């Protein structure tokens, strides 16, 4: 393998420039986040204390800490654990992922199950840490980006957005041509995804001579979403600023003035241009107001955050050297030799990256023995099916287990399940596998009549040698309690009892009714203790919610559908004190041309003592 050299001073200036540009762009865009009109920003707001706090940078500080904790073998599993310990944001996909992680679900299930926001910008904004820790190695950067994104975006465009940016930014260490960098990024995402389609159209419109404002409108027309955080439109706006910008200032202003997720678009483009230009290439006008402070949001806590950009840069480089060596990249960071690339540029992503595009999001994957990073004895997949890891009281559920022999010798033993008390399930299943061979075990389990917020199960892989038990591997996993509801359509006299895997009610799917009129739902909400609750009925149309017979939510108009813990429409939530015990919840949703859809959520108030606002109450039971 030819060795490429990355001069250590070059490494420092590219990383520092990237973090500085991230701070600049995030500070510029944060105050206007969510505004959808064409903006006219020309500079920062007044900044008495330097840069503004921003989740675009905050979460990457946690990921740097994760790299330092777990090393280059870091996977989504460890990132999920870090999230539980240090990230308490309730925002959109962050809130849903945190809820799933707290209930014992792991990536990719944590990022896919019951998550209406997996197409959004929460992960594309976290790409720089992986690019900087894998400098000049786009495949490696894209691999880490995938591991990161599936924690809260599995199965959605957010995954592709982060892989795109991570590959592009990693390539900057040896490649400076803008069009080639965009091509490298696009090679690391599937052609059919919405993000790729938006980028292809953007490039074509720019080449056809459309103005930047004309192109902005075309992006919204063909790839836009009412949700201002939707990833494809915002990724396109980021690259629009780069394509049309005459210099650093003009580029980030064009990106931010497209509106929508402005802190994300400006911060990511600021990072890209900061990496290309280095700190010395960024205008003093933009650098001096933010300085080199690192500001951390209060819901990010419990770890040693860097105090300034110099510390952040040095810690990033320290981990990058380890990543380059572990992944056998053929890239050497050298204190004296000049930067030189002696490896041929790849025409596309590695096959291992393409394999990630099609990996099932309904299944958890384990290497055995657990803790193995490579060359495992066996690989286990647990597929929960399209309804995800949920089961109702007294209900049957099918689970699919696949065990593959990854060792060079035959494996023999048995698979068995450890179930909660009074559950029903299968007997042990004998297994004999040659190297490379797989076996599938499809089982049905039945929950007891005792309701619970979640249930702990385990699969045992028991190894046999010389007709005797040699060792057993226990793989614990979680099933959450499905919500029990009774539904009625406009023409129904008898309700239909159903179990909902998450928090989303869809009458048309369950009843098959397409008649306009009032649709009703009934459930019982159990709270184990008295607490203050924000009760949300986020709907795509008029909605009424009664609690114990009293109307507490009455929204008579059709509002933007926003099932977020912290930003559901104010007309669709109420804050109250819920006593311990069981409460009757009744819903009425009006269908007027479109199928009614409602997310019913019980979350904490904005002001909590600790750890953060509007978190989901995972111990409350619906049904």
Q: Which residues carry a binding-site annotation?
A: 261, 263
> From the CB of residue 409, how many other CB atoms can be counted at a distance below 10 Å?
8
Spatial distance between the Cα atoms of 43 and 27, rounded to a whole number of angstroms: 10
Spatial distance between the Cα atoms of 545 and 585, rounded to a whole number of angstroms: 7
Strands 483-488 and 517-527 turn out to be antiparallel
The full length of the chain comes to: 623
The single residue listed with the structure tokens 């073998």 is 73
Q: What residues are designated binding site for Mg(2+)?
A: 261, 263
Spatial distance between the Cα atoms of 490 and 474, rounded to a whole number of angstroms: 49
The answer to whether the beta carbons of residues 515 and 491 sit under 8 Å apart is yes
Spatial distance between the Cα atoms of 174 and 464, rounded to a whole number of angstroms: 51
Spatial distance between the Cα atoms of 239 and 245, rounded to a whole number of angstroms: 10
CA 442 vs CA 214, 418, 432, 439: distances in Å = 54, 15, 16, 10
Would you say the C-alpha torsion 328, 330, 331, 333 has a positive or negative sign? positive
DSSP per-residue codes, 321-338: HHHHHHTT-SEEEESSSP
CA 537 vs CA 283, 466, 513: distances in Å = 48, 60, 21
The answer to whether the beta carbons of residues 450 and 474 sit under 8 Å apart is no
Spatial distance between the Cα atoms of 392 and 445, rounded to a whole number of angstroms: 11
The single residue listed with the structure tokens 């105090």 is 307
């Amino acid at each position: 393998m030819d060795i490429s050299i990355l001069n250590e001073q070059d490494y420092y200036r590219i990383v520092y420039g990237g973090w500085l540009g991230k701070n600049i762009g995030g500070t510029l865009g944060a105050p206007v986040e969510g505004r959808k009109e064409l903006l006219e920003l020309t500079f920062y707001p007044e900044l008495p204390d330097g840069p503004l706090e921003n989740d675009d940078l905050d979460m990457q500080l946690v990921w740097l800490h994760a790299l330092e904790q777990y090393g280059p073998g870091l996977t989504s599993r460890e990132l999920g654990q870090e999230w539980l310990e240090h990230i308490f944001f309730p925002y959109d996909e962050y809130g849903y992922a945190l809820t799933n992680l707290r209930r014992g679900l792991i990536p990719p299930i944590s990022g896919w199950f019951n998550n209406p926001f997996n197409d959004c910008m929460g992960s594309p904004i976290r790409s720089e840490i992986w690019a900087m820790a894998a400098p000049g190695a786009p495949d490696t950067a894209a691999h880490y980006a995938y591991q990161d994104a599936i924690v809260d975006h599995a199965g959605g465009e957010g995954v592709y957005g982060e892989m795109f940016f991570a590959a592009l930014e990693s390539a900057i260490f040896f490649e400076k041509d803008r069009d080639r960098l965009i091509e490298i990024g696009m090679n690391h995402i599937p052609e059919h995804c919405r993000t790729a389609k938006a980028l292809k159209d953007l490039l074509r419109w720019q080449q056809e001579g459309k103005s930047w404002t004309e192109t902005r409108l075309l992006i919204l027309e063909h790839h836009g979403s009412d949700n201002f955080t939707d990833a494809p439109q915002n990724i396109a706006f980021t690259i629009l600023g780069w394509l049309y910008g005459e210099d650093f200032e003009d580029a980030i202003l064009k990106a931010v003035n497209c509106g929508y997720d402005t802190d994300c678009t400006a911060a990511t483009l600021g990072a890209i241009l900061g990496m290309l230009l280095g700190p010395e290439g960024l205008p003093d006008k933009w650098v001096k107001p933010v300085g080199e402070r690192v500001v951390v949001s209060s819901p990010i806590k419990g770890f040693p955050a860097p105090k300034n950009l110099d510390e952040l840069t040095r810690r990033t480089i320290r981990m990058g050297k380890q990543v380059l060596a572990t992944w056998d990249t053929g890239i050497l960071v050298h204190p004296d030799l000049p930067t030189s690339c002696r490896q041929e540029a790849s025409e596309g992503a590695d096959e291992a990256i393409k394999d990630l595009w099609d990996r099932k999001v309904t299944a958890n994957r384990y290497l055995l023995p657990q803790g193995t990073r490579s060359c495992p004895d066996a690989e286990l997949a647990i597929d929960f099916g399209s309804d995800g890891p949920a089961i109702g009281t007294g209900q049957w559920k099918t689970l699919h287990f696949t065990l593959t022999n990854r060792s060079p010798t035959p494996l023999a033993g048995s698979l068995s399940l450890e179930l909660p008390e009074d559950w029903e399930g299968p007997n042990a299943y004998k297994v004999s596998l040659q190297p490379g061979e797989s076996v599938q075990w499809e089982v049905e389990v039945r929950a007891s009549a005792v309701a619970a917020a979640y249930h702990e199960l385990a699969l045992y892989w028991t190894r046999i040698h010389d007709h005797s038990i040699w060792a057993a591997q226990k793989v614990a996993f979680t099933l959450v309690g499905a919500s029990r509801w009774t539904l009625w359509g406009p023409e129904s006299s008898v309700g239909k009892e159903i179990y909902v895997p998450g928090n989303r009610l869809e009458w048309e799917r369950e009843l098959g009714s397409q008649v306009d009129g009032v649709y009703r739902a009934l459930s019982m909400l159990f709270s184990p203790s008295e607490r203050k609750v924000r009760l949300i009925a986020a709907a795509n149309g008029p909605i009424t919610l009664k609690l114990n017979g009293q109307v507490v939510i009455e929204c008579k108009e059709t509002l933007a559908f926003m099932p977020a813990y912290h930003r559901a429409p104010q007309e669709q939530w109420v804050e109250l004190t819920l006593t311990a015990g069981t409460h009757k919840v009744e819903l009425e949703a009006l269908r007027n041309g479109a199928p009614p859809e409602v997310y019913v959520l019980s979350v904490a108030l904005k002001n909590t003592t600790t750890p953060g606002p509007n978190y989901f109450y995972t111990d409350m039971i619906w049904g």
